[in-house]
Amino acid sequence: MFIDLSVLLNEQTPVYPGDAKFQLQQAGTFETHGFADSVVSFNNHNGTHVDAPSHMFPDGKSLDQFPIEHFTGPGVLIDARDGFDIGKVHSAKIKEGEIVLFLTGAEFGSKAYFTEYQTMSEEIARYLVQQKIKMVGVDTCSVDNMEGGFPVHKILLKNEIFSIENLTNLSLLQNKSFTVYAFPLKFQLDGSPARVVAEITDTQ
């Protein structure tokens, strides 16, 4: 069983204030060309997306410089609806190579989604680095506040731990064992939209 953790990406997809919106232009039509295709334009951090080290560091690696195995692994869900708690993170017994997802209960597209959201602490970010995880994912627009120099991003990405932002449907993973697949487009860039899915492997 697979659960889609990605938001829909189209011209109505909400974007962080100031970011370029998704734009679509019809290129090929059945009437004129006998087929349909389109030209699309979007910010590479629109929708559900993966951040690479070059998002925060001029000399950081871009997405294409990592093996495909880096984008998949066993998942761990941590309930952060009451806030990011280091005690809960310790209790999760996180192992090397896992992908850690935080459920905050944020509703993508809601009025307060981009202005009133929870962020993890630097302490949690450093602990995740110590555990040598692969990726961290959140159902919010960012792992950081948009002020203060993005310390959580930098702690994670400096250690080549990707962040996945704008996830959805995380509540469906409660009390389940699962594998995460978070494959971005093979851009030579600092980030990319991704189709992120979880494969349920067992019920705990």
Q: Which domains does the chain have, with CATH numbers?
A: 2-203 (3.50.30.50)
Burial of 165 (0-12, 13-18, 19+ CB in 10 A): buried
Q: What is the pTM (predicted TM-score) of this model?
A: 0.94
In this prediction, residue 202 carries a pLDDT of 83
Do residues 93 and 204 lie in contact, with contact meaning Cβ atoms separated by under 8 Å? no
User: Would you give the distance in Å from CA 134 to the centre of its chain?
Assistant: 12
Rounded Cα gap, residues 125 and 67, in angstroms: 23
Which residues of the chain register pLDDT less than 50?
none
Element (H, E) at 126: helix 122-130
**Predicted local confidence at residue 147, as pLDDT:** 77
Q: In angstroms, rounded to a whole number, what is the distance separating the alpha carbons of residues 17 and 187?
A: 24
Q: How far apart are CA 1 and CA 35, in angstroms?
A: 33
What count of Cα atoms within 13 Å lies in the side-chain half-sphere of residue 71? 24
pLDDT at 204: 62
